[in-house]
Structure 1
Amino acid sequence: MRLCDVTLREATQMPGREYTVEQTIAAGKALDALSLSLIQAGFPATGNHDATVTQRLAETLETDVGAIARARDADVDAALDADADVIEVFVPVSDRQLQAVLGASRQEAFESASEAIDRVRDGDARPHLTLLDAFRTDAGDIAPAFDRFDVPITLADTVGARTPSFVAGYLRSLAELDVSLDRVGVHFHDDLGVATANALVATRLGVDRVDVSVASLGERAGNPALEEVAVALETAGHETGLAREQLIPTCRTVLDALDESVDPRTPIIGEAVTAHESGLHTTAMLDDPATFEPYDPETFGGKRRLLFGAHTGRGGAERLLEQADRNPTEERTDALLDRLTESEAPVELDEAVAMAEQL
């Protein structure tokens, strides 16, 4: 199973965002540390920004760099001129989008895609195919694409309309139509708040590729969060191929490069999600951190923070005294609790132990 990062392209589609070329390249270089399968750099046909970013990253990164293109000669040529390693041709396939976006039949869309794929190959790049709005298209109309095209094919839930149960049923329907799911990629949007869940369901069923984005950056509600998908898969025992210890630092570096921020309670990368102050939690975690956490944040380059203050109970104070090599008498325990309560803010473990050492 491969993870393809779409942060650089998707983030630029958010309203009010005008990243500079240098910002985008800095984010791309940071992503290179993760050993992703593919970094989708942009849509070169849209202008100089995406063309320049794609070309400079393709010249620089170890990871393969991708560009997207409509099934048009000019789009493909722009991606080829930008030296993309992979060019992802995309066409709409649902009845609604065929009529409103393309004004053509599904057969005509496939013919255009076939010509574009040939053009990509002639230009010495590797072609992929993305089918827009695939999850609102009957599986029977999608399955023939896997016979017709001998390239990796990504199915897009373009408007974020589907939920995990539907995704599972849809992929099983494709499998019953003799589509090998190890040829399928998936691209989800988070409009219903289930993009990451959809991605995880798809991986469980054996798809080849999942598109992800740092902190879900992307148009509308964004895409499956890279950090959420990666940690969920690794925690469940699935190999992602990522440099795990670089995950959290890289995501934060990407956000800094793009001048983006996240709520402190954002899963995996928020500053507050690995901080614990509850007396019951911290007492237990001094002995066994896994008591109240789903994964060791250090595995992914993060840091656990145990905080002590007014919420610290007697058990926690006694553990701190033990760590400070002090006998946890009732008098010392009361004194430490008083000091912790009087602190202007909760203190971290090292400072709390230092307080205990003074008693």
Structure 2
Amino acid sequence: MKLLDTTLRDGEQAPGVSLSPDEKVEIARALERTGVSVIEAGSACTGAGEREAISRVTDLELDARVTSFCRGIHTDIDLALECDVDGIHLVVPSSDRHVEGKVGSTREDNLERTAELVEYAKSHGLWVEVIGEDGSRADLDYLEALMATALDAGADRTCFADTVGHTGPERTAEVVGRLAELGPVSAHTHDDLGLGVANALAAVDAGADLVHCTVNGLGERAGNVALEEVAIALSHVYDIDTVDLTQLYDLAQLVARATGVELPPNKAVVGQNAFTHESGIHTDGTLKDDKMYEPYPPETVGRERRLALGKHTGRAGVRAALEEHDVEVSEDAVAEIANRVTELGDRGRRVTDADLLAIAEDVTGADRERTVELLDLNAISGGSVPTASVRLLVAGDERVASGTGSGPVDAAVSAVRAALGSGADAELEAYHVDAVTGGTDALVTVEVTMSRDDRSVTVARSEADITRASVEAMVDALDRLLEADAQAFAPADD
């Protein structure tokens, strides 16, 4: 079983998505690391910019086969050849709606033209997959004849395409089973009915040995079947290996950043909540046995387990979260902290690590002095280069520093790092902004997650000014991360 990734072609056809040549190269390299067998790098017929991007990918000399999408015309094949691709996906109409209504042809002429195009592509040394567009709505006898014609003309394989996400797994299995008797067959499924994975698995069961996917399920309308979902389903349920599963999360994050399409929190495999537990029952069970409430270990797909804090958090979750921050409290204190966490969650608040630690300090009466405190912040974004200056109190030492950046927030963060010097070696893992009120005086909540060594802290701050909220959240996170490290406060760089 192998996977073909079409993120760079079908995924890019999602509304609002446009990838630069550099981004396509970066994603192609990530797909290669993941072990994808075929990378559809784009549609050479789109334009000169697209051909440059495809050529950049072919120049990488990847182990994966690099291909281009081609319509059923000779010029598309010629343009693909200019990009030095290994092969093409030749898309020809298969349903009467497409043969007659879209192309204005007949069934007989379509058969002849498909054979001619395949022979032309093969004569130029290309690997050829023929896709019967709208195959799920085609007359099965005609689709079978069309694919047989393509194979007889020299095509390397055919592809069943549920182009509009129209069908279900039973019909998919019937069609693919017929086509598999002719020769190697692939499956190209869309998720308009939420059946993308089901149809892909039905195709595999019926004889398909190659599945077309996109990272994060990107694609037109409701998207294509998601590569990460097909890969883990084949591995976990059917013990079929396709790609390096440990690369899936990094790949998903890369594509999300490049396309600007955020991952839904509840997205299977790669969503934020996929391995996050808040419920007291689930947290307690997971702490006792990590298989209790998870189908497979998060490390399988390059993830880590998270215990979230909120209204459903029980004592076991609070105790585990405190232990992550090396905080020891009595069982009575754990119970009181858990009650306060629940109360905070009941008010609709996302309970962060900083909230938990502040509650614990209040309950236990611990007297804690801040290690890093923001005294003053000034940010200017009206000029050509946004600048910012900060005044911090760092372990009793007042420090002033300035910085520049791509925007006021970036400039302010640079200033904080400059003021802290070697103490600012924490990594910003996540940055999220939410508007919490409407109108011109709206507040924004900025939530950051920062890590240092093996510790991470999440902090949220709400302000009318996004720059101040961002800096306060970051400084509070650094305060928690650096409080135990006396060596972190070397003099700030000049």
Q: TM-score range by the shorter chain?
A: 0.7 to 0.9
- Taking structure 1 as the reference length, the TM-score comes to 0.87
The change in CA–CA distance for 1:319 and 1:87 in structure 2 (over 3 A counts) is closer
CA displacement at 1:185 relative to structure 2: 0.8
Q: Is the 8 A contact 1:306 1:349 kept in 2?
A: no
Q: Work out whether residues 92 and 131 of structure 1, in 8 Å CA contact, stay in contact via their aligned partners in 2.
A: yes
* Percentage identity across paired residues of the two chains: 34
Aligned to 2:159, the other structure's residue is in SS state strand
Following superposition of structure 1 onto structure 2, how do residues 145-224 of structure 1 map, counting pairs within 5 Å? 145-150=146-151, 151-172=156-177, 180=181, 183-224=184-225
Partner of 1:6 in structure 2?
6
SS at match of 1:281: helix
TM-score for the superposition, normalised by structure 2: 0.65
Q: Report matched runs for 1:1-359 at 5 Å.
A: 1-60=1-60, 61-150=62-151, 151-172=156-177, 180=181, 183-308=184-309, 310-316=311-317, 330-335=331-336, 337=338, 344-345=351-352
Shift of the 352–72 alpha-carbon distance from structure 1 to 2, 3 Å rule, reads: farther
Worse-superposed segment, 340-349 or 307-316: 340-349
Q: Which moved more, 1:182-191 or 1:280-289?
A: 182-191
The amino acid of 1:111's aligned partner reads E
For residues 167-209 of structure 1, the C-alpha deviation after alignment (integer angstroms, 9 at most, x for no partner) is: 233334556xxxx286211111222221122112212223111
Query: What is the deviation of 1:323?
Result: 9.6
State the shift of 1:249 in Å. Answer: 0.8
Uncovered stretches (5+) of structure 2, i.e. residues with no partner: 345-350, 367-494
Q: What do residues 11-46 of structure 1 show as CA deviations (whole Å, max 9, x unaligned)?
A: 332233333222222222222211111010111022
Contact 1:309-1:346 at 8 Å conserved across structures: no
Shift of 1:213: 0.6
Give SS of 1:292's match: coil
Give CA-to-partner distance per residue, 1:274-333, whole Å, 9 cap, x none: 111110001010121211112212111111112345533345567779999999975354
- Cα distance in 2 for partners of 1:48, 1:277 equals 50
Q: Deviations over 1:253-274 (max 9, x none)?
A: 1221233322222221111221
Give, as a single letter, the amino acid of the residue that structure 2 aligns with 1:90.
Answer: V
* Worse overlay, 275-284 or 48-57: 48-57
Q: Residue type matched to 1:57 in 2? A: V
Instruction: Give the superposition deviation at 1:65.
Output: 0.6
Query: Contact between 2:134 and 2:162, CA under 8 Å: does it hold in 1?
Result: yes
CA distance in 1, matches of 2:278, 2:42: 43
Structure 2 CA distance, aligned partners of 1:322 and 1:20? Answer: 45
Structure with more helix by fraction? 1
Question: CA-to-partner distance for each residue in 1:135-165, whole Å, 9 max, x for gaps?
Answer: 1112211223444333210011112111223
- Judged with a 3 Å threshold, the aligned counterparts in structure 2 of structure 1 residues 331 and 64 are, in CA distance, closer, same or farther, namely same
For 1:23 and 1:290, how far apart are their aligned partners in 2? Answer: 37
Cα distance in 2 for residues equivalent to 1:209 and 1:250: 20
Cα distance in 1 between the residues matched to 2:219 and 2:186: 18
Does the 8 A contact of 2:21 with 2:56 survive in 1? no
Letter matched to residue 58 of structure 1: T
- In the aligned structure 2, how far is the partner of 1:310 from the partner of 1:301? 28
Contact 1:158-1:187 within 8 A present in 2 as well: yes
Asked whether the 8 Å contact 2:10–2:219 carries over to 1, the reply is: yes
Q: 1:214 to 1:267 in 2, by over 3 A?
A: same
Moved more, 202-211 or 92-101: 202-211
Q: Write the distance in 1 (CA, Å) between the matches of 2:330 and 2:183.
A: 62
Contact 1:7-1:218 within 8 A present in 2 as well: yes
Letter in 2 for 1:35: G
- 3-state SS in 2 of match to 1:289: coil
* Aligned-pair CA distance for 1:131: 0.8
Q: CA RMSD in A?
A: 3.3
Secondary structure of the 1:49 match is: helix
When residues 323 and 261 of structure 1 are mapped into structure 2, their CA distance, relative to the original with a 3 A threshold, is closer
SS in 1 for 2:88: strand
Task: Judge which range, 304-313 or 99-108, deviates more.
Answer: 304-313
- 1:59-83, Cα deviation, whole Å (9 max, x unpaired): 1033111111122221111111111
Assess, with a 3 A threshold, how the Cα gap between structure 1 residues 105 and 290 changes in structure 2: closer, same or farther: same
Whose radius of gyration is greater, 1 or 2?
2
Could you tell which deviates more after superposition, 261-270 or 338-347? 338-347
In 2, distance between residues paired with 1:12 and 1:79?
A: 18
Matches of 2:18 and 2:328, distance apart in 1: 60
User: How many residues end up aligned between the 2 structures?
Assistant: 355
Higher RCO structure (Cα 8 Å, ≥6 apart):
1
- Asked if the contact 2:275/2:306 (under 8 Å) is kept, the reply is yes
Q: Cα–Cα, structure 1 residues 16 and 165, in superposed 2: closer, same or farther, change >3 Å?
A: same
1:290 aligned counterpart, secondary structure: coil
* Distance change >3 Å, CA 189–CA 337, structure 1 → 2: closer
Unaligned 5+ runs, structure 1:
none
Q: Distance in 2 between matches of 1:182 and 1:280?
A: 51
Instruction: Give a deviation string over 1:319-353, Cα, whole Å, max 9, x none.
Output: 77999999997535435535755885367999999
Distance 1:284 1:353, change over 3 A: farther
| Distance in 2 (alpha carbons) for counterparts of 1:269 and 1:98 | 39
